[in-house]
Structure 1
């Protein structure tokens, strides 16, 4: 039954399948044996081992032989398939890891007796081997194969030193455990690359038992990165321990800048800074603050590299971004250090495009672009071209398609009939796939359509998996742009009339009572036979279909037109025709203006002190963060002129937040509580107050934004005041108006000195930058307390460190608790021994009634001049539940909603993550419909 024996006799009916006999060049896995030798993988031995196990339990009757043959053939295919999914080509896999997969396959298939026999056999042979190994005086030396082909003896002392540094000050981590796991993956002739990976892999599989291993794994990855970076910038192969790197960081930084400029990756202007001063300001110890998911994300997608070799260390990365944002400051070294301090401390993080491109030769730093599509062929294909240009440099796109005439409308130029918007949406969808930002991440776009458009029902079907594929857009996000009048007709069970925009020109630009008057006039025209293309349906039927498609496909999202417009500070110079890719931006668009927004997020968790939210620290963060975001407007590389014109005229930014759930955990506030809703209100009021105050400071220093005159700001109407405009149009509004700060003094100051930015606040998803900072995304509740997160960088074990801390304090964190969390998909609810207060505090997203999310969002919305990316969760969705939830969102004055996330049929793998590198146990479920846990579309914003 041993997989290591090369001379086992083949049993009768041994399942030698095509997959098992695959040649080495098709399945390039080598097996590391216990004696240190390496051999080619042979799947036949898996079949032999399992067949012997079955026959040992069931005997050898002829009837059993055929059944065993079939079972073993299937199980062998499963084991081989699992091994093939492991990352990398030419991977060396330890014999014990292969045996673990055999054991796992037997357990999954519920052949428990056979699995038990297999386990007992392995234990006995392990005991025998241990006895033999104890008698061996010395093991053969392990040699490391260098890139040039030479071989050197493994430096055991350095390996131990690196692991000890990684575990330093990390309670609960074990140096010996990592070293043992590392040695298990080493063999004589191991390559330098494999040696660098071995301790990382050994540490990361322990994260589920102790969250601090996430920090240890990151520090081990840092060792690999140091070797790459130092060798590249110096041109000589070299490495350094963490302590050695701390002394060399400043010198490395100067060499790094020279290297980057010479490679054409860094703007030559950065080399003209006082590099010595900036190098001295770098704080090397902050490299230790990363968790593995964050640093691996940086390593894979953010750090500068040439030919696949990274030469940018994390603190150099933050300083490069800071320098790029300080390029036009008067004292740019001081400002760069100020910006660096904020970024490297994780108090604030700029958005992904800014992190990608700041300080480079193409500094496209903006996150979101909003466009309105014109109603002619030239305008449509110009918009498609603009999408491609904007997406090329990491921009996320929101397209307003409402002006394009609908199916059956007359085309004067050809005297034919329009095919509607769907064929053009298909082109936009395929463009998003084609322009994937150089392979860094997928292009991402969201199409918006107002609910009275004649093509609305076909629009709702775009993401369906059935029907004519030529009328489907599986890669494009879609969103409904819903006027208040439609929601009022739904509530009164009234009729709703659909129009083609070419026959009701100007309707798309109207809001509130003006829209209602015009819409009813167009309905009267239709009744008189003055319109050629229209259709009348029940508003409730269309609403039901909207919610049905949202549940079935995850799209289109529900966004509300009138709150976005009636509360817009810039209603005096245009119309908000749609939101953006992630539904948090609400800026004006037209045929001459492409709206641009520059995003960044405050890490709320970094601002919680012993006495709660540290208001002084938050105020200081906001001042610097607003300056950084305002600088983006002037430094930015604009790919189309309409974007540049709009951004310089209005200068909008979108400052949001992340780590909200972490802050609640520190404060011991359950998400589903009035206390959490109050905290959402108080924290957002502070953010709003200091964002507006900081923009006023910038206006005094640099001048007000050009279109300030006539804005709501100029009339003393702040976001908290604009609620009344919406309430007046609706005839009432269920929205809290309580305030705590001195808004009157700020209101008077804004009217007197003006503002630097037309818009200041928007809460984006922060899908990636929250990973970098090691905190919860945006305003999201905890997804699960233990799960495996999948994104473009791989699979990562995520454990709620705050929960582990509290369970340890109650002596409840053990192997049984880990097993229970896996079994119950990261939920504490069904685990009897966990106290009720912990179950409430650490309730996961699907255990929280989503009405609490809406109530908290409503309290934030009163302070925000733009919107929020608000995901809603339903464990047991129904038509009634969806209807109630989205009507509540509208009634509470929300501007937009984002994904509807529902549970799927499969769950977290119940087996151990140990020995699998996380790959075999990735969460395959409890994910949103048509959305991954780390949604790549979100990343276009953050």
Structure 2
């Protein structure tokens, strides 16, 4: 039989009543001093009642009818009375404890040890309960005590637990506070540490997440109890607090936090110059209730400031610290800090991880991405590797352009020897990334880029293979192909391709479009005349197949496209884009003198869908405007580990505003990812973000001045990202480009504004992966489709059950959400497609990433790309992968005008971890492949099939799992 909270309260009331049994009238002049100091008349019959209860506690209810027991109780009562009368023949006062001592002694002398023991335990328990009540514990547990951090044991405070759980469940209709309390208490023991109580509550709530997604919020709110206890006690503000208490305690804790952080040399001393009273009053404790368990645990484990392993930063304090750091140079710092805080704490916008880590600290390295070009000189090569180490130390993701390095077999003039090529240097870069791990917070992360005409390209493709000479392998580093349009055209036309060493063709590195084509063909002619001796001719289609084969087998190199990145770059008048970054969304100029820097942040789209399922355009405009200002502020506040980065960033001032929660926004509108409506929303939402971001940067230019290299840029010519598609079309030709160019906004008015006011930032938009910040906000990553509808997510913070709340809501509305459905979805690895009783409309809406035809991903990305002045981290998911499928997908990506692609996620007959179920084991792996949904046909690119006709493609070797999507270095 389970013991409920009401049982405990009833028992406490009963024992308290028994405690008063001895405090009644008695013959004579004896009086009883009660524990509160009051006097009461003495009544000997109450002694008998107390002893009878002790007998019943030992022998059961039947003992009360025993004549032996009654006679013995009467006898012992008389003995006790005689003792008192002898001691006080004239009457007097007795303390209640004296009376109980005599009862205990009489039972012992009579040989009734068991009864005496029950009476002793009764006294001890009630002494403990009284002590608890004196300490403010109104509902102490009768048997469980808690060991606090001062080493003292106190009764478990049932009242506080009930308050905590009720607060955690507030506003959530489908959760059961009573069940959490009762189930948690079953898992507690006498002497449990104070943090263990909160842990038990959390663990109870998290086991219910898979059946009701709202329990993730309950679990997070219960986790907050531990966080508050740790931080508040360290700051000496309070030992512990409920969420309601934080309305008063947050402002107090905030002020002490600023003092402590400066004392520990962690916070920028300038934060103390703010009006802390005003900022503390602006903190919103209710915003703590937005976190999912995964989001809050991620913040705790990796973001909150700590001193000697004690986290003394709370969620709203962290967001205000970030906001203050970004407002340091503002005129009205407090007003701007509050404005920045509000968009962060509401999850309307989230800054990138480096900004969250470091804003407001003594070392404010806030930027996300760094791009470098490595010159063909030994000193320069090792200087570049040194720069990698310094940038990685302060939490930056790196993209290195290695194309200038001469190929294997080329002559080294100084020694008259032969070069070993690019690969040995990349091995050093790989090991440097492992050794310098972003300040001890995250793995070092770097991506090497090489153009497809480089003579070392074939060995470059094999860098991540698990076979071959390990000295020429880079198992911890990313790699990417920087592919010219001319190569893709020769793949389509089944022509030959020539590989060169860069020291023989030095200008190819800086050329693109028709200029590249003319120079490249001229160099090919020199191979015929013997002027260039070191080269290799291959069939373009064969090299393309090897690129796709290695991409599938090892996950690398990624495929990125040089010409659209340059032809559509606003900054082509002052340089060349030689590579993208670690996550393939940044496309900025690099040179020996300039390291490109980008500062990232993401608009959370789901926060801008109103209750009617419509995009809230005015709110989106406000959020984008504030976000662009915050990103621009990063440039001036940022700590630059190397001078080339500072020079570049202050000259050009690029930022990268992206989006996340795209899939959630579709769900809220009832739209399937694989649908024309989904593509249309990708188009319209990105158009609005683009319009407002460009407008915000132009308005900042009017307020603060244009960026240094504005004149001559596409912006200065009134050429916006949408217009730059025409430049790509002219260079590539109609035959090889199909991009939708429709629009809905008044772009003419914006063109006029930009030409008149200028731009504050050379680049404004880039869609990053948001691997971590989307977890913090509890939304889908970036532009990703849902990975699975129900699964266990594992990361550095542990394992978390993730269930699609929108799916659960829809299934409940169809009366389909039950225990059987939960287990069915687990069995099919988070897929709905093979569950017959689910309507097709719901199956379509909740198709998972591998069930969405990849052409829909490319089409949606193409619609976004037309609005973006940089690029997007586009992962491609392909189920039942084949050579033809890879071939078609990546050709389509190029044909649709994409600038870059990111990871390839290929799925055969495998699955990922399952959540715990009543049947089966934790993280059991199924070998059943997920089925493809009955999706609408993907849009066919007109003209593309003409080039693919008759080309079945080569089979691709089966390989291991592709790398984890969790690129966290950028966001």
TM-score category of the 2 structures, normalised to the smaller one: 0.7 to 0.9
Partner SS state of residue 646, structure 2: helix
2:260 equivalent in structure 1:
259
Q: Shift in Å at residue 198 of structure 1?
A: 1.4
Aligned counterparts of 2:319 and 2:917: Cα–Cα separation in 1: 33
Q: Which residues of 2 match residues 862-901 of structure 1 at below 5 A?
A: 862-901=866-905
Contact 2:343 2:623 in 1 (8 A): yes
Q: Distance in 2 between matches of 1:879 and 1:715?
A: 43
Asked whether the 8 Å contact 1:554–1:900 carries over to 2, the reply is: yes
1:204-219 equivalence runs, <5 A: 204-219=206-221
**How far 1:180 moved relative to its partner?**
3.5
* CA deviation after TM superposition for structure 1 residue 924, in Å: 11
| Residue in structure 2 matched with residue 620 of structure 1 by the alignment | 622
Distance in 2 (alpha carbons) for counterparts of 1:815 and 1:925: 21
- Which ranges of 4 or more aligned residues in structure 1 deviate by more than 3 Å? 136-140, 146-150, 908-911, 913-916, 918-934
Once the two structures are superposed, residues 64-87 of structure 1 have per-residue CA deviations (whole angstroms, 9 ceiling, x without a partner) of: xxxxxxxxxxxxxxxxxxxxxxxx
Matched with 2:727 is: 725
Whether the 8 Å CA contact 1:790–1:934 is kept in 2: the answer is: no
Question: Alignment partner of 2:808: what SS?
Answer: helix
Match of 1:855 in 2: 859
Q: How does 1:409-448 map to 2 (within 5 A)?
A: 409-448=410-449
* Match status 1:713 vs 2:715: yes
Larger radius of gyration: 2
Partner of 2:60: none
1:746–1:929 CA distance, 2 compared to 1 (3 A): farther
1:763-805 CA-to-partner distances (Å, cap 9, x unmatched) read: 0000011111111000001111101111111111110001111
2:337: which partner in 1? 336
Query: Contact 1:908 / 1:925 at 8 angstroms: preserved in 2?
Result: no
How far 1:816 sits from its partner (Å)?
Answer: 0.5
Instruction: Give the aligned partner of residue 692 of structure 1.
Output: 694
In 2, Cα distance between equivalents of 1:929 and 1:650:
42
After superposition, give the CA deviation of every residue in 1:253-275 in whole Å (9 maximum; x if it has no partner).
11111111111111010111000
Q: CA deviation at 1:147?
A: 3.7
- 1:17 corresponds in structure 2 to none
Using the size of structure 1 for normalisation, the TM-score is 0.83
- Listed as ranges, the matches of 1:228-247 within 5 Å are 228-234=230-236, 238-247=239-248
Q: Please, which runs of 5 or more residues in structure 1 have no aligned partner?
A: 1-135
- Structure with the bigger RCO (C-alpha within 8 Å, sep 6+) is 1
Residues 769/909 of structure 1: CA separation in 2 closer, same or farther (3 Å cut): closer
SS in 2 for 1:901: strand
TM-superposed CA distance for 1:368, in Å, is 0.2
What SS does the corresponding residue of 1:588 show, helix, strand or coil? coil
Aligned to 1:757: 761
Which position in structure 1 is the counterpart of 2:223? 221
Shifted more, 262-271 versus 639-648: the winner is 262-271
Please report how far the alpha carbon of residue 934 of structure 1 lies from its aligned counterpart in structure 2 after TM superposition. 5.2
1:154 partner SS: strand
1:818 aligns with 2:819: no
Quote how far apart the aligned CAs of 1:923 are. 9.9
1:939 maps to what in 2?
968
Q: Secondary structure at the match of 1:597?
A: strand
- Tell me what 1:272 maps to: 273
Aligned to 2:672: 670
Aligned twin of 1:541: 542
Q: Who is 2:684 aligned against?
A: 682
The answer to whether the 8 Å contact 1:303/1:312 transfers is yes
SS at 1:387's partner residue?
helix
User: Which of residues 828, 838, 841 is equivalent to 2:845?
Assistant: 841
Q: Which residue of 2 aligns with 1:512?
A: 513
890-899 or 804-813, larger mean C-alpha shift = 804-813
SS at match of 1:408: coil
| Cα displacement (A) at 1:211 | 0.3
Deviation at residue 939 of structure 1 after TM alignment:
0.8
Tell me how far apart the structure 2 counterparts of residues 680 and 691 of structure 1 sit (CA, whole Å): 16
Distance 1:228 1:915 in 2: 38
Cα distance in 2 for residues equivalent to 1:455 and 1:314: 49
SS in 1 for 2:576: coil
**Deviation readout 1:505-564 (Å, 9 max, x if unpaired):** 111100000000000111111111112321111101100000000000111000000000
Aligned pair count reads 803
Q: How does 1:487-498 map to 2 (within 5 A)?
A: 487-498=488-499
Residue aligning to 1:579: 580
* 558-567 or 429-438: bigger deviation: 429-438
Alpha-carbon separation, structure 2, partners of 1:926 and 1:902: 12
Give the deviation of 1:150 after TM superposition.
3.4
Where does residue 555 of structure 1 map in the other structure? 556
Aligned to 2:170: 168
- TM-aligned CA deviation for residue 160 of structure 1: 2.3
Indicate the residue corresponding to 1:119 in structure 2.
none
Normalised to the residue count of structure 2, the TM-score between the two structures is 0.81
Q: How many angstroms apart in 2 are the aligned matches of 1:661 and 1:607?
A: 13
Q: Which residue in the other structure is 2:294 paired with?
A: 293
Residues 795, 922 of structure 1: 8 Å contact kept: no
- Contact 2:792–2:913 under 8 Å retained in 1: no
- Structure 1 vs Structure 2 CA RMSD: 2.0
What SS does the aligned partner of 2:659 have? Answer: strand
Corresponding residue SS for 1:939:
coil
1:150 pairs with one of 152, 156, 160: 152
CA distance in 1, matches of 2:861, 2:927: 29
1:592 aligns with 2:621: no
**Could you tell me how far apart the structure 2 residues matched to 1:184 and 1:921 are?**
28
Question: What is the SS of the residue equivalent to 1:813?
Answer: coil
Distance 1:630 1:582, change over 3 A: same
Distance 1:922 1:645 in 2: 51
- Separation (CA, whole Å) in 2 of partners of 1:348 and 1:140: 48
Which residue in the other structure is 1:318 paired with? 319
Deviations 1:617-645 (A, max 9, x none): 11111111100000000000000000000
Distance 1:196 1:926, change over 3 A: farther
The structural deviation recorded for 1:931 is: 4.8
Aligned partners of 2:712 and 2:592: how far apart in 1?
Answer: 22
Structure 2 distance, partners of 1:602, 1:457, is: 40
Q: Is 1:460 aligned to residue 489 of structure 2?
A: no
Paired position in structure 2 for 1:800 = 804
